[in-house]
Structure 1
């Protein structure tokens, strides 16, 4: 009976098709751009092999054909870069001889500082290949179609809300100016009304999608049990959390959001104020900001936490960011326990007011 190599989360791959798969393994890094993919492939004690492919469906097929000709299992690392990486990750995950890891860019950046001085696409691809070889490997888990659709809708909604705010500001400025002709004001009103209708329609589509999926529906109900998180905010937050791997810890959630604190103290001379890393998803940070503002008004536990920070001479923005981070901890907890929010469990040491 022939030996088999088992890729994480995939069926066993027979070595009869590739008889030398059991004697070598390749490590691949892919630096993803909007138009191109820079590829670096390494085998231990062998020279680098580098290529470039288009970041299109045809380019993905050409890449997989090229890797297949090497007749060896391939461990691939790439950075999470939103829409530019998702289709490639799905294509790689569907290939039997490929294991794929989708990495937090901050983690790759920290790793890269030990290896390179130059920053080019080819150098970035080599760093990712080295990461595949040297670091513990965690295989990417393909999200459901509902999760992918929800994230796409929530991101588009976020862009439309930004557009809505800009159009509203332009209309306000135009109406206050005597020099603005009526036709311009009328056009701005039509534009703003159109954006409003699109937002309402997309939110309705997102809620229908959530209602049709039991897992998403349960998480949506749990989110709306948190003070400060209503349906609109829950939709945006869930759209960002839905693609996170189910085995991630809460610290990894915080790091992925970019809300993790960065301390800069060294010896007796360097004592810079702490700040957040901002190395994660700005979309998740933005989705948590308004709920944090509402929570410090309506939840006694988060309000007490916020006021305790202000009493320690933290700036209001610093305190709000800390509340947003606590909200993320709370969401992680209620998702794990499948129970509605209870602030006393989040702050057992704080007295409510």
Structure 2
């Protein structure tokens, strides 16, 4: 017998999804583990479609793990609603018994919440290639930056085996010119023999801005050591190789930044997002990568909760008013808001004033910055909602604004 309507909830996973279908009373009609491959997904979509005249689909993730599922559902003409993972976690405590596996229970919660909330849940748009590309590129850039940090750490370790004084003097993370120098000169004897003038000329031709300062510092450090350390030849060769690796990573990061900026500028909200002080194209791209479709943001409070900037109570007995950071939130989104607040403190007078007020109230620097980040979620949400750019003299939005 074909039913009039069913609700399908999907707990998204990397290799497998779990799908649960419920009827209008919340009774489970189907509960199944699904391989994340096209043909099994198509087969199950067709099977569930034959069970009812109308099937409403809902998922808890919009990451790359859900890409194939969402694409197949869109290709089959199915609309999909989104229930945030935090909402699933909060609601799951009210469901008892039944499934032994957490995935199955979560899928049931998603399906049943979709049944009860209906059109209150936002509809996903799986064909937003731009946001998908930004997610890939920003994640790739983060990997490249992490690789660069690891490579510099290994470079420092090998440089100590050549000349400890040179390692102490080298500002590898602050000045790229030092990496260029170490790709050409590693041993103290070679630096002394080349001399200040030749090294300065070499660095200048390589495009290093403060070539003379770096050359002078390197020569001074090299003069403090006249002995040759054991294994110096191998260590010096490794330093040169690692320095070239850092230069290569810098070039790849620069190229990735260009790709990120090119795609971010094509987004209709790019100008709105970057109009906020402290948000450039990189943080703006990370923001879109974290939230996906900005239409999914229902309120400023929801955005703050999503970013882990809305403390939740931890009351017990007579102890009330105790707040703590929520356990589930988007660390990527939290980082965007926190880093943008740090930048705004340096470049925006309004943010500086607010931050200083919180410091005067006795809050520590990190706490004051988090307060500013929370306040900025209200402003950013309002700008996105109204599709307008930030103006320095626009009416201030209070923290309780929705």
1:259 paired residue number: 309
Specify which of 105, 108, 127 is matched with residue 123 of structure 1: 105
**Gapped regions of structure 2 (runs ≥ 5):** 163-230
Return the offset for 1:247. 6.5
Specify which of 55, 65, 70 is matched with residue 84 of structure 1: 65
User: Structure 2 CA distance, aligned partners of 1:327 and 1:152?
Assistant: 26
Return the offset for 1:104. 0.9
Specify which of 33, 45, 50 is matched with residue 64 of structure 1: 45
User: Structure 2 CA distance, aligned partners of 1:339 and 1:135?
Assistant: 30
Per-residue CA deviation, residues 233-270 of structure 1 (Å, 9 max, x unaligned), is: 33333443452326632222222222222232345335
Return the offset for 1:150. 2.4
Per-residue CA deviation, residues 134-179 of structure 1 (Å, 9 max, x unaligned), is: 3344242305322332233223223322333333333334433457
Question: Aligned pair 1:243/2:293, yes or no?
Answer: yes
2:114 paired residue number: 132
SS in 1 for 2:82: strand
Contact 2:6 2:52 in 1 (8 A): no
Return the offset for 1:344. 4.1
Contact 1:77 1:131 in 2 (8 A): no
SS in 2 for 1:58: helix
Contact 1:302 1:343 in 2 (8 A): no
Higher mean alpha-carbon deviation, 48-57 vs 133-142, is at 133-142
SS in 1 for 2:243: helix
Distance 1:67 1:173, change over 3 A: same
User: Structure 1 CA distance, aligned partners of 2:364 and 2:332?
Assistant: 23
User: Structure 2 CA distance, aligned partners of 1:282 and 1:184?
Assistant: 36
Return the offset for 1:26. 1.2
Per-residue CA deviation, residues 22-46 of structure 1 (Å, 9 max, x unaligned), is: x521122212221111122222465
SS in 2 for 1:73: strand
1:141 paired residue number: 124
Task: Tell me which protein shows more helix as a share of its residues.
Answer: 2
Equivalences for residues 300-311 of structure 1 within 5 A: 300-311=349-360
**Gapped regions of structure 1 (runs ≥ 5):** 1-19
Structure number with bigger Rg: 2
2:197 paired residue number: none
Return the offset for 1:79. 0.8
1:220 paired residue number: 270
Question: Aligned pair 1:156/2:156, yes or no?
Answer: no
Higher mean alpha-carbon deviation, 83-92 vs 104-113, is at 83-92
Contact 1:40 1:50 in 2 (8 A): yes
Contact 2:261 2:282 in 1 (8 A): no
Higher mean alpha-carbon deviation, 103-112 vs 138-147, is at 138-147
Higher mean alpha-carbon deviation, 123-132 vs 227-236, is at 227-236
User: Structure 2 CA distance, aligned partners of 1:153 and 1:28?
Assistant: 32
Distance 1:345 1:130, change over 3 A: same
Per-residue CA deviation, residues 254-305 of structure 1 (Å, 9 max, x unaligned), is: 2222222223234533553x33325232112222322211211221111111
1:321 paired residue number: 370
Contact 2:7 2:114 in 1 (8 A): yes
Return the offset for 1:132. 2.3
Contact 2:288 2:294 in 1 (8 A): no
SS in 2 for 1:116: coil
User: Structure 1 CA distance, aligned partners of 2:96 and 2:248?
Assistant: 49
Task: Tell me which protein shows more strand as a share of its residues.
Answer: 1
- State the TM-score, normalizing by the size of structure 1: 0.80
Contact 2:9 2:109 in 1 (8 A): yes
Contact 1:80 1:102 in 2 (8 A): yes
Specify which of 263, 269, 290 is matched with residue 339 of structure 2: 290
Contact 2:273 2:380 in 1 (8 A): yes
Specify which of 23, 26, 33 is matched with residue 52 of structure 1: 33
Higher mean alpha-carbon deviation, 75-84 vs 179-188, is at 179-188
SS in 2 for 1:245: helix
1:105 paired residue number: 85
Return the offset for 1:113. 0.5
SS in 1 for 2:314: strand
- State the TM-score, normalizing by the size of structure 2: 0.71
Aligned residues: 323
Specify which of 238, 241, 246 is matched with residue 187 of structure 1: 241
2:181 paired residue number: none
Specify which of 56, 59, 74 is matched with residue 75 of structure 1: 56
